[in-house]
Structures are given as C-alpha cells and as structure tokens.
C-alpha cells in the first residue's frame, strides 16, 4: 500500500519538477548581449531600376544585421524633439567611399545617406533585439556613366538611448554590375 501511494506522488511531482526545471533553465539561458548596438555587414544587392521621375538608376540595397542587448532601437515619427535633433535626428549613418587605385577615399556627395530606422519593439520578456536592416540608395548616371566606378560603405547606428554601435564596412562594389555582393552569397 505504501508503494502505491509513493508511486502516486511520483506521478504527480515528477512532471511538476520537470516543468519548473525547464522554466528555470530557459530563463537562465537567455542570450546576453551588450547594451550598445552591434552591426555586421551581410549583403549588397544591385539592381537596375528607375527613380520617382522615371530616370534610370542603379539601386544599391545594403543589408546588415543588427543586435541590441537592451532592445531600445529605432525612432518613432514623433521623435523629433530633444534629444532627437541634430546628429540624433537620424539613427543610421552610411558613409560612401570611392575605391580609387586600391584605396578607399571618402566620396564628396551633396546628400548624405542618413536614415531613420523605425521604432522596433522586442517581443517577450527578453529585450534582446535581433533584426535585419535593408536600406535602398539610388545612384544616377550622368551621360550614361556613373559618377563612381567602385564604391564601398561604412555604416553605424544609434539606439534610442543614443548609444553608438560599432562601425562595419561592406565589400567593394562595382556599380556597372548587377547581382549580389559578396559574390559567395549568390
């Protein structure tokens, strides 16, 4: 009789203990990342297309991965007052370099490539945010020629707490081609 009571309690408590262990270990195994955002280059996609005025352009799509340990990434449309003015009005900066004779030289362009990544809200209790960001930049031709032959980009982001990420770089891109860079991603 005592053995049957003991087995009865084991059948009740073992699933409860197993569930509690699963909960505790999954909570302790949550991935930890620094609060400063981190960016890594993933891919460039080149495509011939037209702009809003139906002019031919080369569309350069920069794709990068973003990780933010505390998940405070992105700006809402209403984020236009202090501290989100001046350099913090944008939260993603892309610097263009022309590749000349094997050396990257910062390009002198009229309109910089500054972007506002929209507000992103992490799901669940873990505020770790992982995202893929895609940015489109158009390059026009002048007399059938691009202003630049080979280019590359450096880029970085600011999170909502104004913490700056690392700076990442793309591979060298030839504007007179179409396809994917780096080429091993084809």
Average pLDDT, the chain: 82
Backbone angles phi, psi at 64, to 5 degrees: -140, 160
pTM of the shown model: 0.78
- 19-23, 56-60, 118-122, 172-176: which has the minimum mean pLDDT? 19-23
Question: Per-residue pLDDT tens for 142-153?
Answer: 877 888 889 999
Residue 14 and residue 142 in contact, taking contact as beta carbons nearer than 8 Å = no
Whole-number pLDDT of residue 156:
98
Residue 173 and residue 152 in contact, taking contact as beta carbons nearer than 8 Å = yes
The CATH number of domain 38-185, selected from 2.60.40, 2.60.120, 3.30.200, 1.10.8: 2.60.40
Say how far apart CA 184 and CA 163 lie, in whole Å: 33
Question: Per-residue pLDDT tens for 31-59?
Answer: 677 889 999 999 999 999 998 999 899 99
- Identify the three-state secondary structure at position 91: coil
């Amino acid at each position: 009789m005592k053995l049957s009571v003991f087995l009865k309690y084991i059948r009740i408590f073992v699933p409860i203990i197993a569930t509690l262990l699963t909960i505790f270990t999954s909570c302790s195994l949550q991935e930890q990342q620094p609060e400063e955002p981190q960016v890594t280059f993933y891919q460039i996609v080149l495509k011939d297309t037209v702009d809003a005025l139906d002019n031919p352009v080369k569309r350069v799509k920069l794709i990068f991965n973003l990780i933010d340990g505390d998940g405070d990434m992105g700006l809402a449309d209403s984020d236009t007052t202090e501290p989100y003015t001046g350099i913090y009005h944008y939260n993603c900066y892309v610097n263009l370099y022309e590749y000349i004779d094997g050396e990257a030289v910062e390009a002198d362009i009229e309109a910089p490539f500054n972007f506002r990544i929209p507000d992103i809200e992490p799901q669940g209790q873990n505020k770790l945010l992982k995202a893929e960001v895609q940015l489109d930049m158009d390059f026009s031709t002048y007399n059938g020629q691009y202003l630049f032959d080979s280019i590359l980009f450096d880029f970085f982001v600011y999170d909502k707490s104004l913490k700056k990420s690392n700076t990442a770089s793309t591979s060298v891109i030839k504007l007179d081609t179409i396809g994917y860079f780096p080429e091993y991603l084809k």
